[in-house]
Amino acid sequence: MPLYRDEGVVLRTVKLGEADRIITLLTRTHGKIRAVAKGVRRVKSRFGGRLEPFMRVDILIATGRSLDVVSQAESIAAYAAPICADYDAYEVANVIVETVDKLVSAENEQASAQYRLLIGALNALAKHAHPAAAIGDSYVLRALALAGWTPRLRSCVVCGRVVDSSERVFLSVAGGGVMCAADRTPDAQPLSNDERVRMIAAVDGDWTVLDEPMPHVSIRHFVEEWGEYYLERPIRSLRLLD
């Protein structure tokens, strides 16, 4: 069987037969792949815990006729242990892997920018570099922006006028961004200036803003709606965060 080597992050696993699992990974150069890990559920598996969700591994894959097979897996970064030890980080990590799994829909489709964003977010979660919720919000908006769905937050999507921090603005998910009071469509929801500033920081990955605790400001529901609308299917783990 032909072999290829890559590095990847385990997104999810499903049981197969008595002792195997099918592992879904996002890889640096081969995009999303699925491969069987044989014997991985045995106590003395040669893969150890290296093929669990959120693990970043160097893998050797054998190309099969129906399914590929994991031949070797070496750990590059054990994000899983520190993430699973922190409930907030664990929930956000689930949102992250589910989002990228949906965004990169086709197998073997090139997704190196999505891969870099993914390992950046998991690394930040594992190191508790920023508040977990902010890492999740920023990740979802940036991953969707990479896919072409960047919210327009600085100017009205209808008239194009740059909005002022003192005026009332609205966010239309279907419309793709903010709307001024004169142009708002019925679906547009009020967006406070603090929320708008935080949305912009999340899209830009501006941690000086996002690290500042703002307990009265949550952009979670906007991020959730944005994600669900542009991914077209509800993100299950986003709902669990509410």
Among 1, 85, 113, 159, binds Zn ion (CB under 5 A): 159
Residue list 128-147, contact with Zn ion (CB under 5 A): none
- 74 vs 167 by CB, closer to Zn ion: 167
Size of the site for Zn ion (CB under 5 A): 5
Is 178 a binding residue for Zn ion by CB under 5 A? The answer is no
According to DSSP, the β-strands at 68-77 and 177-180 are unpaired
Is 191 a binding residue for Zn ion by CB under 5 A? The answer is no
Is 180 a binding residue for Zn ion by CB under 5 A? The answer is yes
| 210 phi, psi to nearest 5 deg | -70, -25
For the stretch 166-179, what's the b/e string if a residue is b when 16 or more beta carbons lie within 10 angstroms of its beta carbon? Answer: eeebbbbbebbbbb
Least Å from the CB of residue 178 to Zn ion:
9
182: number of Cβ within 10 Å: 9
Stretch that binds Zn ion, among 73-81, 95-103, 181-189, 219-227 (CB under 5 A): 181-189
Token couple for 106? 């086709």
Least Å from the CB of residue 200 to Zn ion:
18
Least Å from the CB of residue 198 to Zn ion:
21
Least Å from the CB of residue 160 to Zn ion:
7
Q: Does residue 31 contact residue 108 with C-beta atoms inside 8 Å?
A: yes
- Residue 155 to residue 38: CA distance in whole angstroms: 53
Among 158, 197, 209, 214, binds Zn ion (CB under 5 A): 158
Least Å from the CB of residue 180 to Zn ion:
3
Is 183 a binding residue for Zn ion by CB under 5 A? The answer is yes
Map tokens 């491969």 to a residue: 35
Q: Does residue 33 contact residue 61 with C-beta atoms inside 8 Å?
A: yes
Report helix, strand or coil for 16. strand
- 106 vs 182 by CB, closer to Zn ion: 182
Is 181 a binding residue for Zn ion by CB under 5 A? The answer is no
Q: Does residue 59 contact residue 102 with C-beta atoms inside 8 Å?
A: no
- 141 vs 156 by CB, closer to Zn ion: 156
Q: Does residue 227 contact residue 101 with C-beta atoms inside 8 Å?
A: no
- Residue 93 to residue 84: CA distance in whole angstroms: 9
Among 156, 188, 210, 241, binds Zn ion (CB under 5 A): 156
Is 188 a binding residue for Zn ion by CB under 5 A? The answer is no
Least Å from the CB of residue 155 to Zn ion:
8
Token couple for 128? 């508790």
Residues that bind Zn ion (CB under 5 A): 156, 158-159, 180, 183
